Structure 1
Amino acid sequence: MTTRTAAPRAAIYARYSTDLQSAASIPDQVRLCRRLCEERGWTVAEVFADKAMSGASQLRPDFQRMQQAAMRGSFDVIVAEALDRLSRDQEHIAGLHKRMRYLGVEIVTKAEGEISEMHIGLGGTMSALFLRNLAEKTHRGLEGRVRAGKSAGGISYGYRLDRQPLPDGSFTTGDRVIDAAEAVIIRRIFMEYDRGRSARTIATGLNRDGIPAPRSGGKGKGTWSFSTISGNWKRGTGILNNELYIGKLVWNRQRFVKDPDTGKRQARPNPPEAWITEDTPALRIIADDLWSRVKQRQGAIREDILSERAADPDAPQIERGHRPRYLLSGLLTCGCCGSGYIMISDSRLGCAAARNSGTCTNRKTIKRLDVEARVLDGLKTQLMHPDLVAEFIAEFHREMEKDRLEAEAGRVEAERALSKVTKEIDNIVTAITEGMFHPSMKAKMDALEAQKAAFEAKLTALPARSPVVLHPGLADVYAAKVSDLAAALNDPASRPEAVEILRGLIE
């Protein structure tokens, strides 16, 4: 340890993760660390503790707060029960060690003692292997439950857990049975969709009838939406795509990977051959013929959408570049409920909540072109404020001056290069007149003469030196451009850029 005149100040860090330890682990860790501090003669400056937080993530509130305190010089040493309490990620623990070493803060643990590069390398590797092994064991355990027809976590709408007592006093886990009341709603959804109703219409009807939506806990909270019903057919989400309703349990459709920068999990699809499917006839709610008709209708709708896109490939779509289709896309909200105002027909805007879930009573619609015209008129009025006109003139002057300086820099460079080439030509001429001729001189002279001609042409093409003089009608030009905003939107060449600029002004 480094010798200090005063007792070193220690920061204690403790952590437990829900899958490995209990909340009681925190005071146990802190007690061990305090005892270590007493033995070393250190003063405990602060205690940092993260509860139910994974050691593979840096996004832990007290872990971040501890590092900020270290940067302020609040303590001299970090004390933990073991290195894996600080982090189980090799990269993270190495980064922490490097930052603390730079700040002059030591890391000491009850298990390993004073932490060095050797501990970082070996400890980080072991922690990473532990996490990988834990993930593999967890996945293997879940697969075993699925193959036994049990739940691997989470209960789909239409089912409830069936916990049966065991001889030792515990209860079975993962067994499901059909929830009769919710099964009625599932059959209603499938039959209404089979009759030609849209997912939006079905959702509106369910909300109108006061049917609790999935994840609402049966307490009337939450609302049905078209996405709850339609979901994503590729991922098997949504009421209409859940194969458990026909007695087939499909698992491992997707895996989750952690973004190293944000620490957030992202879903990645698994190939179909990695899926695990088990027959669970006791969980069937929907008959095969009804399921087949629903699948046929979904397929036909997808074909229609693909046909429309193929017929008009240049039509702007959300999937292509994520560019807003209309000037005000995503910027309008309902004055009654705050939901977005969306296109509900070819030409009219309406409340998204009223259309998609029926949870808003605002049924008023407005023509898209009318509201765009009103917004543009408002923009014109604001943009003609004298302060903004003056700012435009000043910015125009700055850009013109910038162009002039760039042209001047090009002139100086060309003049310098021309002077150099001319000097080389003069040197060759002098050498020839003094009798030092060589055949290679002719080729060199030809090349230099060509360069000289090019530089002279460049200088001739540059504008003459002159100060920037503002046009007396510049304010009128600005006013004309502002008044003609609609023309910029109607011009295919300038529309994309004009829309982005105008949306920025509106936002």
Structure 2
Amino acid sequence: MTAPLRAAIYARFSTDMQRDASIDDQVRTCQDYAKRQGLEVVEVFSDKATSGASLMRSGIQNLLRSSAAGQFDVVISEALDRLSRNQADIASVYQKLEFQSVAIETVSEGSVSEMHIGLKGTMNSLFIKDLAAKTHRGLKGRALAGKSAGGKAYGYKSVVKLSADGEAIRGDRTIDAEEAKVVRRIFTDYANGISPKKIAEALNAEHIPGPSGRGWGASTLHGNRERGTGILNNELYIGRQIWNRLSYAKDPDTGKRISRLNPQDEWVISDLPELRLIDQPLWDAAKARQGALKTKNTGDNIWDRRRPRTLFSGLLKCSCCGGGFSKVSQTQFGCSTARNKGKALCTNRLTISQTDIETRVLGALKTNLMDRDLLEVFCKEYAIERNRLNAEAEQGRGALEKELATANRDHSKLVDAIIAGIPADQVRDKMQALSERQKTLEAELSRAPAPDPIRIHPKMALTYRDKVGAMIDQLGKAEDMAEAKDALRGLIDRIVLTPNATTGKLDIMLKGALSGLLALALGCKRTKGLSGDTQAIDNIEELVLVAGVGFEPTTFRL
């Protein structure tokens, strides 16, 4: 008896306004469909409160990974728009699943083909645009009426009202007395010369929740003056609501929303004196201080000031709070959270100099990545592994070529039989099956890479040493840093700094692919993918380097 096809179910709902039960309802409907079709459900994937306009969803990504691993034969969904509403994304999903010989079936459309992808994909894409336009029109109506047309601003609370027929009236707000006190305190302290960092630190020390319910940060206060973000730039505090200052679009590569400043003639401005929190003199004093700060250091281009200038900018992380390390003086790096948000959120006040961390990390790279004997071992192992993989590829390609040759011969025999007088309808089905198999084999052969036996050049190890040395030299030069930094970031994901109570200094942990290269330099070779009898250290992801003993690798985390 033939085993039933394995099926995976995918379900999704879009917004927080919908219920978790929506997922259960979709899964139940798909299970009933699978039962009617004689399919065996082996996995269920779902995404909750996630837009279908992007593939940056954990559920759909897990489905695609499981499909590539051959864990099911059919994907079932309630409708095609549950998989994606984006025309390009649904086409991409279809192509990937088709390549893996996985079919798509939906309760609404049945078996999905290229026609469904073209027509339904276009319809779903148009639906999203139409929905966005209607939503924007509705929000504009609210803004013109002086109601909230977005998220709740700090200092206010929503008011629930019902119309005469019992329908909810949305968008009304009133002042939150406790939060309003905090807003006035922020403006007063800032106007008196206290920095946003110090204000945030004081609020966190008193355990006053921020707008997100978590701690305060300096950026929460100063925001972006031009875009009207941040407590100090919110004109609602002086009874002036500005809506549609920003528009948002999703980056097709990352799925992230990107904000853009709209022209001022598209802004919707409403006067709401009943919502005023800050008197005019205090607002003017805060704006005057902002203006004075904005005119400082105008000799440099703002983008030059914001561009990372150091080798490890963005890679340094604090082990205590997970926050980043940034420049706290001309020469020292320190935890940003400890300094910007106070001891209530992070107690790590230790610092490390830029010269110290760069010298020691680059020294470790130069010492450990350029050992002559180990490079020779690496080159030999690399050649053996590449040749083994090529042999497997050649064997698989040879089998495909052999089967294609047999199919071509059989097809020619059937043609000869028809010429000899055998009725064509007697061999039609066989010829059709052979033709389809020929197309399949030709497609697989076109995708199969041609074997490329590896021949190690006698100077490969020397070339490697030269390139590593050149990269490290470039990392120490500001003018060559950009290109070399990209190479380094391919090896190091992050550098975690941990206080050492014994030494009073920071221990340094490198995380990323670099640990695999350093494992080779230490004489530890992985068995996975390599031949020969070696001592294995699998899944090395971290290398701990303790301050005070140079950059000797003292501990591996397995």
Normalising by structure 1, we get a TM-score of 0.66
Aligned to 2:294: 302
Q: Equivalent residues in 2 for 1:325-340 (5 A)?
A: none
Larger CA deviation: 292-301 vs 207-216 = 207-216
SS in 2 for 1:207: helix
Q: Write the distance in 1 (CA, Å) between the matches of 2:107 and 2:484.
A: 63
Aligned residue among 62, 79, 84 for 1:82: 79
**Would you say 1:357 and 2:341 are equivalent positions?**
yes
Percent identity, aligned pairs only? 47
2:306 pairs with 1:323: no
Q: Deviations over 1:220-242 (max 9, x none)?
A: xx332221211111111111101
For 1:158 and 1:131, locate their aligned partners in 2 and report how far apart those are by CA, in whole Å: 33
1:201 aligns to what SS in structure 2? helix
Q: How does 1:18-33 map to 2 (within 5 A)?
A: 18=15, 22-33=19-30
SS of the equivalent of 1:289 reads helix
One of 191, 195, 198 as aligned partner of 1:198: 195
Q: Distance in 2 between matches of 1:45 and 1:499?
A: 45
Which amino acid is 1:102 matched to?
A: F
Q: Could you tell me how far 1:344 is from its partner in structure 2? A: 3.6
Please say which of residues 272-281 and 114-123 is displaced more in the overlay. 114-123
Query: 2:439 — aligned with what?
Result: none
Q: Does 1:287 align with 2:279?
A: yes
1:188 corresponds to 2:185: yes
The residue number in structure 2 matching 1:247 is 239
For residues 110-161 of structure 1, give each alpha carbon's deviation from its aligned partner in whole angstroms, at most 9, with x where no partner exists: 3223323222221111111111111111111111112222222321111111
* Contact in 2 for aligned 1:206/1:224 (Cα 8 Å): yes
Secondary structure of residue in 1 paired with 2:260: strand
Q: Which amino acid aligns with 1:64?
A: Q
Inter-partner Cα distance in structure 1 for 2:98 and 2:478? 58
CA contact (8 A) 1:77 1:108 kept: yes
When Rg is computed on C-alpha atoms for both structures, the one with the higher figure is 1
What is the Cα-based RMSD across aligned positions, in Å?
4.4
Residue 159 in structure 1 maps to residue 156 in structure 2: yes
1:496 Cα deviation after fit:
7.9
Q: CA deviation at 1:342?
A: 4.2
What SS class does the counterpart of residue 342 from structure 2 fall into?
Answer: coil
Q: Output the amino acid matched with 1:85.
A: R
Q: Which residue of 2 aligns with 1:276?
A: 268
Give a deviation string over 1:355-393, Cα, whole Å, max 9, x none. 323325666777x4xx725874796699668x9564799
The residue type paired with residue 276 of structure 2 is R
Letter paired with 1:200:
K
The question of 1:51 aligning with 2:48 is answered: yes
CA deviations over 1:316-348 (Å, ceiling 9, x no partner): 94534x332xx6656666787675554444455
One-letter identity of the residue aligned with 2:209: P
Q: How many residues align structurally?
A: 407
Letter of the structure 2 residue corresponding to residue 319 of structure 1: R
Deviation at 1:262, TM superposition (A): 2.5
Between the aligned partners of 2:102 and 2:486, the Cα distance in structure 1 is 49
CA distance in 2, matches of 1:26, 1:36: 15
State the match for 2:58 in structure 1. 61
For the residues of structure 1 that align with 2:102 and 2:321, how far apart are their CA atoms?
A: 53
- From 162, 174, 178, give the equivalent of 2:175: 178
- Cα distance in 1 for residues equivalent to 2:94 and 2:232: 51
Amino acid at match of 2:283: W
Over 3 Å counting, the alpha-carbon distance change for 1:103 and 1:299 in structure 2 is same
Give the letter for the 2:192 counterpart: R
Shift of 1:349: 5.3
Q: Tell me the CA shift for residue 245 of structure 1.
A: 0.5
Question: Shift of the alpha carbon at 1:77?
Answer: 3.3
Note closer, same or farther for the CA distance 1:276–1:341 as it changes in structure 2 (3 Å cut).
same
Q: CA deviation at 1:194?
A: 1.7
> Which amino acid in the other structure matches residue 120 of structure 1?
I
Question: Which is worse superposed, 290-299 or 352-361?
Answer: 352-361
* Secondary structure of 1:305's aligned partner: coil
CA contact (8 A) 1:257 1:265 kept: yes
CA distance in 1, matches of 2:347, 2:28: 59
Aligned partner letter, 2:336: A
- The 1-side partners of 2:332 and 2:72 are apart by 63
2:50 partner SS: coil
User: What are the within-5 Å matches in structure 2 for residues 411-422 of structure 1?
Assistant: none
Find the residue that maps to 1:278 and give its secondary structure. strand
Distance 2:480 2:16 in 1: 56
Residue identity opposite 1:202 in structure 2? I
SS for the counterpart of 1:372 is: helix
What CA distance in whole angstroms lies between the structure 2 residues aligned with 1:150 and 1:78? 44
Q: Is the 8 A contact 1:160 1:177 kept in 2?
A: yes
Which residue of structure 1 aligns with residue 121 of structure 2? 124
User: Which one of 205, 209, 217 corresponds to residue 225 of structure 1?
Assistant: 217
Q: Distance in 2 between matches of 1:62 and 1:492?
A: 43
The superposition leaves residues 22-52 of structure 1 with CA deviations (integer Å, 9 ceiling, x where unpaired) of 4333343344434444444444444444333
Correspondence for 2:110 among 99, 110, 113: 113
- For the structure 1 residues 372 and 150, does the alpha-carbon distance in structure 2 shift closer, same or farther, using more than 3 Å as the test? same
Query: Residue 212 of structure 1: CA displacement?
Result: 2.9
Q: 1:372 aligns with which of 352, 355, 358?
A: 355
In 1, distance between residues paired with 2:168 and 2:324? 47
* More off after superposition, 93-102 vs 234-243: 93-102
Task: Quickly say closer, same or farther: Cα 1:203–1:100, change in 2 above 3 A.
Answer: closer
The answer for unaligned runs of 5 or more in structure 2 is 378-457, 460-468, 496-509, 511-558
Deviates more, 1:125-134 or 1:57-66: 57-66
Judge conservation of contact 1:247–1:283 (CA < 8 Å) in 2: yes
Q: Deviations over 1:185-213 (max 9, x none)?
A: 22222122222222223223333444332
Q: Is the 8 A contact 1:328 1:372 kept in 2?
A: no
Q: TM-score, normalised by structure 2?
A: 0.61
* Letter aligned with residue 323 of structure 1: R
Deviation at 1:501, TM superposition (A): 9.3
Aligned to 2:227: 235
Distance 1:498 1:14 in 2: 44
The Cα offsets for residues 421-449 of structure 1, whole Å up to 9 and x where unpaired, read as xxxxxxxxxxxxxxxxxxxxxxxxxxxxx
Tell whether the 8 Å contact from 1:254 to 1:267 is kept in structure 2 after alignment: yes
Separation (CA, whole Å) in 1 of partners of 2:361 and 2:99? 56
Which AA in structure 2 matches 1:253?
R
* Per-residue Cα deviation, 1:64-87 (whole angstroms, up to 9, x for no partner): 333344444444433333222332
For 1:264, give the aligned amino acid.
Answer: K
Change (3 A) 1:148 1:8: same
